[in-house]
Amino acid sequence: MSVLWKNMTNFSFLPKYLSYFKNGTICTLVIAVLSVFAAVLPALMLALMRLSKNKVLKNLSGAYIALFRSTPVLVQLYIVYFGPFAVINLPSYKLFGFIDVSMLIPGIVALALNSSAYVAEIIRGGILAVDQGQTEAARSLGLTQAQTMRYVVLPQAVKNIIPTLANELVTMVKESSVIGYLGCQDLMWGTRTTVGATFIPLAPYIFAAAIYFAINYPAGKAIECLERRMRRGDVR
């Protein structure tokens, strides 16, 4: 018992390795935010395809969503990295001086492809939640289907989408830890490296968990608050 306690609280690595955690946290946040942002447009396209009457578009989008939701993100990451990015030459530029772009970009692409499958469903749900009467009113005025989507349905769907999208961001902060497998220096990579270098087996992970928690818990609470506020202002 006392060994466990000792392992848990041995933070002697901190003075020397704190920068790994600091840079790792920045890297993780950059990846999470960019991945989710990059996912929004493809996801919107997937959602609209999924909702269209055209069977080909509908099934294409359905297949994409099914594929990316039914396979592990780590597998997708490797396929993207060793597939397309084996032939694409990326510059070896270091963002903020420590995030290697040649690993960051494949990582973001893979995570965004994965996330777009989930975000597509979020957007589709948000669109379907808009009262059918809104579409009917717009179409009865002579607006085309596309104009109805753009001016009437989507602006209202955004209200339903934003909170869920923010939740996807929280998920991504956690899920993005797979990117360390490419050697990208995110928070989990920094943690593993610290463990390997110091032979302190537990405390670095505890410290990393604390950082993830400190980011995601308040973020989740803020989203709940936002959700409540948005729902309050929602009447036909």
Residues in contact with another protein by CB under 8 A are: 131, 133-134, 136-144, 147, 151-152, 155-156, 233-236
Residue 193 tokens, joined: 């490296």
Distance CA 2, CA 229 (A): 47
Q: What's the min distance (Å) between Cβ of 161 and another protein?
A: 13
Q: What's the min distance (Å) between Cβ of 148 and another protein?
A: 10
Q: What's the min distance (Å) between Cβ of 62 and another protein?
A: 20
Closer residue to another protein (CB): 137 or 214:
137
Closer residue to another protein (CB): 105 or 152:
152
Closer residue to another protein (CB): 3 or 235:
235
DSSP state of 83: T
Q: Which residue(s) pair with 100 in the sheet?
A: 94
Instruction: Answer whether 50's CB lies under 8 Å from 65's CB.
Output: yes
- State whether residue 18 is helix, strand or coil: helix
Closer residue to another protein (CB): 111 or 153:
153
Angle 14-51/187-198 helices, nearest 10 degrees?
Answer: 150
* Closest of 122, 232, 116 to residue 167, by C-alpha: 122
Distance CA 99, CA 215 (A): 20
Closer residue to another protein (CB): 156 or 171:
156
Q: What's the min distance (Å) between Cβ of 157 and another protein?
A: 10
Q: What's the min distance (Å) between Cβ of 40 and another protein?
A: 19
